Amino acid sequence: MMHLTDEEMIGQIYGESENTAAVEQHLAACRACAQSFAELRRDLAALDRAQGPARDERYGERVWASIAPSLAAYGQERPRWWSAGWSTNPWLKGLGYALACALLVSCAFYAGRLWERKPQPLAHVEPKPPQVKQPIVVVVLDDHLDRSERFLVELKHADLDSAALDSPMRDEARSLLAANRVCRKNAAQADDPELTTALDHLDSLLAEAANEPGGLNAQNVAKLQDEMNADGVLFEVRVLRSRIAHRKGTAGDAAKGGTI
């Protein structure tokens, strides 16, 4: 026989048993449960002695007297200057809405200004890697070296008997000289001694070609050819072009997310 649990007995005493008839039937048949039930009932009955102190008939009046001063009557709160007639006067109501809208727009505008001026968080300030700017410089330098190489090749193989060379070569030499000085300045700023030295050699050769007194006649061209061969300017330009081509390749990789 299954005995009653304490929970079932407590439920029975408080009249909240889920099956009162079955519990009563069990208590009638099971002496152990009947004894436990009687003890539980007696224990709980003993707790009924815990009565609170009495309060006299005027207790309620004293409570009311103590709280009444702190209560404001409903609907009779003292009207405030800014709220008087607020809900009843349509003009005031409209004015209120207009003011609220104006305030909202002003706040939004001001917030927008602040937002624009707000410095970007450090997390978003990614310093531009040098390779981002590098391709532009590289392309300009490469173009200059390409033109210079063609000029030097043309100068090397120039027909000393042809007078047709003079004007176009001098023009090209002058053009290259201006570009070479820009490139040389950039190379000096970039602290690239190899490039700076090569461009220095090229500069002196181009300066002579551009400013040779008497133009690029056969004698002057022969002299420039000798200087070019002696300094190895053409070789230097070709080496530089090769180096630039390599750097262009790595810069392209970097732009695609590769590493240098």
Partner 1 sequence: MIGMDRNDHAAIQAVLAGDKEAYGTLVVRHSHTLFRVAYRITGNEADADDVVQEAFLRGYRKLEGFESRANFGTWIYRIAVHCALDKVRRRRGNETSRVGEANDPEQDQMQVADEAAGPDRILLSGEIGAMQQAALHSLTPTERTAFVLRHMEDRTTAEIGAALGIDPNAAKQAVFRAVQKLRRRLAVLRVAT
**Nearest approach, Cβ of residue 47 and partner 1 (Å):** 6
Name the region of 75 (left: φ>0; alpha: ψ -120 to 50; beta: rest). Answer: left
Count Cβ atoms below 10 Å from residue 102 Cβ, excluding itself.
10
Q: Which is nearer to partner 1, 67 or 122 (CB)?
A: 67
**Nearest approach, Cβ of residue 46 and partner 1 (Å):** 6
**Nearest approach, Cβ of residue 79 and partner 1 (Å):** 14
**Nearest approach, Cβ of residue 69 and partner 1 (Å):** 10
What whole-number distance in Å separates Cα of residue 7 and Cα of residue 17?
9
Q: Which of 2, 21, 46, 122 binds partner 1 (CB under 8 A)?
A: 46
Under 8 Å between Cβ of 254 and 131: yes
Q: Which is nearer to partner 1, 7 or 126 (CB)?
A: 7
**Nearest approach, Cβ of residue 83 and partner 1 (Å):** 17
Residue 55 engages partner 1 in binding (rule: CB under 8 A): yes
What whole-number distance in Å separates Cα of residue 241 and Cα of residue 139?
11
Residue 164 engages partner 1 in binding (rule: CB under 8 A): no
Taking the chain, what is the end-to-end CA distance rounded to the nearest angstrom?
A: 86
Residue 68 engages partner 1 in binding (rule: CB under 8 A): yes
What whole-number distance in Å separates Cα of residue 168 and Cα of residue 155?
11
What whole-number distance in Å separates Cα of residue 96 and Cα of residue 160?
94
Residue 79 engages partner 1 in binding (rule: CB under 8 A): no
Q: Which stretch binds partner 1 (CB under 8 A): 2-10, 154-162, 181-189, 208-216?
A: 2-10
Q: Which residues contact 169 (CB under 8 A, 6 or more apart)?
A: 151, 154, 155, 158, 209, 216
Residue 53 engages partner 1 in binding (rule: CB under 8 A): yes
Q: Which of 1, 2, 21, 76 binds partner 1 (CB under 8 A)?
A: 76
Residue indicated by tokens 């970097």: 254
What whole-number distance in Å separates Cα of residue 228 and Cα of residue 155?
9
Tell which positions 14-33 bind partner 1, by CB under 8 A: 14, 16
Q: Which amino acid is at 10?
A: I
Q: Which amino acid is at 166?
A: D
Residue 121 engages partner 1 in binding (rule: CB under 8 A): no
**Nearest approach, Cβ of residue 115 and partner 1 (Å):** 41
Q: Which stretch binds partner 1 (CB under 8 A): 58-66, 131-139, 158-166, 215-223?
A: 58-66
**Nearest approach, Cβ of residue 65 and partner 1 (Å):** 9
C-alpha closest to that of 201 among 238, 227, 167, 169: 227
Residue 100 engages partner 1 in binding (rule: CB under 8 A): no
What whole-number distance in Å separates Cα of residue 16 and Cα of residue 34?
18
Q: State the residues that interact with partner 1 by CB under 8 A.
A: 6-7, 10-11, 14, 16, 39-40, 42-44, 46-50, 52-53, 55, 59-61, 63-64, 66-68, 70-76
